[in-house]
Amino acid sequence: MKIKEEKIRELIAQLEVILEAIRLEESKFEDFLKHVSPEYLKSARNLVHYSTFRTFDLRKTQKKLKNMGLTRLAKAEGHLMSSLLKTRFILYSLVGDRPIVNTKAGLSIKNGKRLLNRHTKELLGYRSKGRRVRIMVTQPTQAAHDYQMVHDMVQHGMNCARINCAHDDSEIWEKIILNVKRASKAFGKKVKITMDLAGPKIRTGNIKPGPKVRKFRPERDETGNIVSPALLVFVPGIKEDSEPNTIPVPLDWLKKLASGDKFTLTDTRNKLRKLKVVDLDDQQVLVHCYETSYIGTGTIIRCVNRELENGIVGELPPIEQSILLRTNDILTITKSNTLGNPAIFDEDGNLTERANISCQLPEVFDRIKEGEAILFDDGKIEGRIETLFPDRFEVRIIRAKEKGSKLKAEKGMNFPTTDLGISGLTAKDKIDLEFVAKHADVVNFSFVNSKEDVEGLLTELEKWDAVNKLSIILKIETRFAFDNLVEILLTAMKVKYIGVMIARGDLAVETGWDTIGKVQEEILALCGAAHVPVVWATQVLESFAKKGLPSRAEITDATAALKAECVMLNKGPYINEVLQLLNKILSRMERFHEKNEAMLPKMEKL
């Protein structure tokens, strides 16, 4: 019995040490706390308490509390002080001491949940019937012109419409917003409008364009026999994003073509090829080709079955080029905005010129150091900065695919161990913010790294009298944002209302794929302590949205969103099917989970 009492007193002593540390730390944060909005004051104190609590290694204490049938404090982030004091009260009672009676200090479990629910409703709107987790949907350009698409999104459960300011322009954004509001009114719902500021995305520069050629190849079976011919589509003109089987020809020549017309051309390899018209209308002609053909700008098309002037292939977009990188290659990153080039080799296979590409944000050159890591294209290629020069730096590739990885223009560059000192607001963001302040409910703040970034945003919002009108979602995308999250949240709490978006793609690249699971859980816990709603983002059901078929892993990932208050979907041609599936998954699974707590409904057979 005496041994048991000693163990209980050890636990009491440990809790007293934690409580004293919390009291001391709270005094250090008084400058933050006195500027916090009254709406968040209790939440801010609880956040300070919880972040201090987590500076201790609590695993042994948790095991001892569990063995006594007491709370392990593992899910006490939303009401920490109350849980600590109640646990201490029980422990004192067990050893017969007169317990300290202030067990009601701090937020109760019920009040902590009420705060989170209120903040979520104000930030993200009312929840859908039978579903706690909201759904945010990224709006494609088509949403500006296709009201029915937006109507279906609202009908199938969209609670928030997300517009990314990195794409389109204010004219398109306004049309999307009008369609969202029209659909919201039709269903008697208030769909929140959230707008992402683009932020300082670091990308690779342009690469020297390839030849203006398109390749056409018939489909063959295993024995080499043609299953179906190559389909070419003659059109009056094409854009860079046109279908890859289109060929531009003069409109007056196009209108003279007839079904059954036969043609020959000499392709870019000097091969004679035959074509045949199989279908046509006023604006396009469908043509079959039974041999592989490389057709370029200026190729002459000759009619062979009747008298008709030659057609000439118009301007084709150049083939997008890439730089092939293998492990141990050296890549030069240039400061000037010159066109990149793949490595050049002589006829004996000897390297004569290294591959090079520019960086679109030259400010990084002032911060990087030799030996630091650099990642390309969402971490698909990894390098190490080897040598620095005033106008360039050299990177040794330390991870790529076995047969090499292709690096293209406009791909992301990450410096996960470098503090680049780049503000979350760019010149473009400040211009876009005027529109956001007038038309949106929420601004999604990209690439926030520090409390200074938040203060910069608040200063800009003051210019448009939007500090207490526009809510803020902080996108956590870097390791520096994660490390500074407590100060970032406390600074943002000057306004109401705020949220956090876990941008898992960029965050995984920055923190490492082996760490992202832990980082996500820590962000969820800190936001739970602050009663700040979390948006679960990046690639949720993305294969389904783009290809129409979800993977098994995607379905499991979708259920993980139950830990958050909102899940974000990216655009895709099957987005409304995705919405219906996600709505069903979340509605069914919420019986088993409430945030990070497992619920136990009656077990039923399928």
Q: What is the pLDDT of residues 499-529, one digit of tens each?
A: 999 988 888 888 887 888 899 999 999 999 9
Q: Between 591 and 130, whose confidence is greater? A: 130
Strand partners, 323: 407
Q: What is the average pLDDT across 545-564?
A: 79
Residues 156-182 as b or e (16 or more Cβ within 10 Å = b):
bbbbbbbbbbeebeeebbebbbebbbe
Mean pLDDT for 427-445 is 95
- Residue (of 543, 479, 534, 480) closest to 511 by Cα position: 479
Q: Which residue has the higher pLDDT, 420 or 135?
A: 135
- Report which DSSP code applies to 540: T
Mean local confidence (pLDDT), 276-291:
92
Check whether 273 has a pLDDT greater than 90.
yes
pLDDT in tens, 288-307: 999 999 999 999 999 999 99
Give me the percent of the chain exceeding a pLDDT of 70.
95
Q: Which pLDDT belongs to residue 496? A: 83
Lowest mean per-residue pLDDT among 117-126, 187-196, 255-264, 535-544: 535-544
Beta strand 534-537 pairing with 566-569: parallel
Q: How far apart are CA 133 and CA 562, in angstroms?
A: 7
Largest alpha-carbon pair distance within the chain? 111
Mean pLDDT of the residues in the chain: 90
Q: Is 141 helix (H, G, I), strand (E, B) or coil?
A: helix
Average pLDDT in the 411-429 region? 85
**Gyration radius of the chain over CA positions:** 30
Residue pair 211/318 in contact by the 8 Å Cβ criterion: yes
Identify whether the C-beta of residue 138 lies closer than 8 Å to the C-beta of residue 164: yes
Residue 3 has pLDDT above 80, yes or no: no
Q: What is the rounded distance in angstroms from the CA atom of residue 213 to the CA atom of residue 227?
A: 24
pLDDT tens digit sequence for 21-49: 999 999 999 888 999 999 999 999 999 99
> Tokens representing 172?
């398109």
Q: What is the pLDDT of residue 606?
A: 44
Buried b (16+ CB within 10 A) or exposed e, 296-332: ebebebebeeeebeebebbebbeeebbbebebebbbb
SS3 215: strand
Tokens linked to 465: 């009298």
Coil/strand/helix, residue 262: strand
DSSP for 244-261, please give it: TTEEE--HHHHTT--TT-
pLDDT, tens only, 66-120: 988 898 998 899 999 999 999 999 999 888 887 666 655 678 889 999 999 999 9
Contact 347, 245 (CB under 8 A): no
Q: For residues 265 and 275, give the distance between their C-alpha atoms in angstroms, rounded to a whole number.
A: 8
Amino acid in the structure at residue 566: C
Contacts of 358 (CB under 8 A, 6+ apart): 204, 205, 206, 333, 334, 335, 336, 337, 338, 339, 340
The conformational region for residue 250 under phi > 0 = left, psi -120 to 50 = alpha, else beta, is: beta
Q: Among 179-188, 512-521, 539-548, whose mean pLDDT is lowest? A: 539-548
